[in-house]
């Protein structure tokens, strides 16, 4: 893997990526069941890189807030592991690719209420349930964590929960409620199903910019150390990265590993967080999605960035 010293200057590279990959025509789709994700123009495109040396590079719409959706699952997993002294979380959720839809009811029933991994919806509900054992408002815990990692914003608002969007999304969360009730029936949910889903939807409705997401994810590139000290251990940071690589891009994790070669986690809001261990965290955002639910332009831009810089774990 190239180091930062070997790589071309990042500023011009990011500017060229925006010129090359900003969508020029409507393509892809947005989630039909989440109304507020249908509003961003198709040509929005932003990218940011936060480095372990403390620099931040960005271009395009990198300072526009977007709904992080399932990128939040990376942060909730880290928070749950940091407070899981007994290791009990891994008895409730596995670490394997699902091979089915991210919201599959059939797989959860066949496997007796143990989700395949923490990045599919059922697994994320278990992680949220785990967080709620410390505080019933798990979404507020996540928001505080993100604000701490992002730090001072020079007068900007910083990460926030779009409560109106969360209420709208909750009104169409029947499948997530079904997953929660399945988990409850199998004894793998300790809090009320409705409360867990409400917290899950609120954490998915957190609004952040590319710059903020990159800064918040930087702890995974520097052995678990965040802006205010250790977030997780070095071992846990490595393992979160491994789950991102194998499970972070829905059913396209293998294709993303092949094309980009980095741990990544996407969200149906069009964002992708990618990690270059020891070097940087990258966030790209473009709202139109491919058939697997990943940002079309974002995935292409990350593959291009990996080729240009040599950043890869392989």
Q: Which residues are catalytic?
A: 70, 73, 200, 250, 268
Chain CA centroid to CA 48, Å: 15
Q: What is the CA radius of gyration of the chain?
A: 18
**Spatial separation of the C-alpha atoms in residues 57 and 8, rounded to whole Å:** 13
The label of the residue with tokens 């007796």 reads 112
Tokens of 105: 């009811």
Of the candidates 13, 4, 48, 1, which has an alpha carbon nearest to the alpha carbon of residue 298?
48
**Spatial separation of the C-alpha atoms in residues 31 and 33, rounded to whole Å:** 6
Spell out the residues 6+ positions from residue 55 whose beta carbon is closer than 8 angstroms to its own: none
CB of 43 closer than 8 Å to CB of 303: no
Helices (H), 159-277: 163-170, 174-185, 193-204, 210-216, 234-247, 253-259
Give the 3-state secondary structure percentages of the chain, helix then strand then coil, rounded to 5. 45, 15, 40
Tokens of 81: 């592991």
For helices 72-82 and 234-247, the axis angle rounded to 10 degrees is 150
CB of 182 closer than 8 Å to CB of 123: no
If you count DSSP H runs as helices and E runs as strands, how many of each does the chain have, helices first? 12, 10
Q: What are phi and psi of 266, to 5 degrees?
A: -105, 170
Tokens of 85: 């002294």
Of the candidates 97, 64, 46, which has an alpha carbon nearest to the alpha carbon of residue 283?
46
């Amino acid at each position: 893997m190239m180091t930062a010293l070997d790589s071309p200057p990042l500023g011009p590279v990011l500017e060229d990526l925006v010129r090359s990959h900003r969508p020029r025509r409507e393509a892809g789709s947005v989630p039909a069941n989440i109304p507020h994700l249908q509003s961003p123009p198709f040509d929005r495109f932003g990218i940011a890189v936060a480095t372990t040396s403390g620099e931040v590079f960005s271009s395009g719409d990198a300072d526009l807030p977007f709904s992080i959706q399932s990128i939040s699952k990376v942060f909730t997993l880290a928070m749950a592991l940091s407070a899981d002294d007994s290791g009990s979380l891994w008895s409730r959720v596995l670490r394997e690719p699902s091979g089915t839809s991210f919201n599959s009811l059939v797989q959860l029933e066949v496997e007796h209420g143990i989700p395949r991994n923490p990045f599919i919806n059922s697994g994320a509900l278990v992680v949220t349930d785990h967080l709620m054992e410390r505080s019933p408002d798990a979404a507020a815990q996540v928001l505080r964590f993100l604000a701490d990692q992002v730090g001072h914003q020079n007068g900007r608002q910083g990460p926030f929960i779009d409560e109106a969007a969360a209420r709208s999304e909750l009104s169409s969360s029947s499948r997530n409620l079904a997953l929660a009730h399945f988990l409850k029936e199998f004894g793998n949910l300790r809090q009320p199903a409705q409360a867990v889903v409400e917290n899950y939807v609120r954490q998915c409705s957190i609004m952040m910019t590319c710059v903020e997401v990159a800064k918040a994810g930087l702890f995974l590139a520097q052995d678990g150390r965040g802006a205010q000290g250790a977030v997780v251990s070095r071992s846990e940071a490595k393992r979160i990265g491994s789950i991102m690589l194998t499970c972070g891009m829905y059913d396209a994790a293998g294709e993303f590993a092949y094309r980009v070669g980095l741990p990544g986690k996407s969200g149906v809001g069009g964002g992708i967080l990618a990690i270059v261990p020891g070097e940087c965290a990258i966030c790209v955002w473009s709202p139109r999605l491919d058939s697997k639910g990943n940002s079309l332009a974002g995935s292409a831009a990350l593959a291009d960035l990996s080729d240009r810089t040599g950043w890869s774990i392989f």
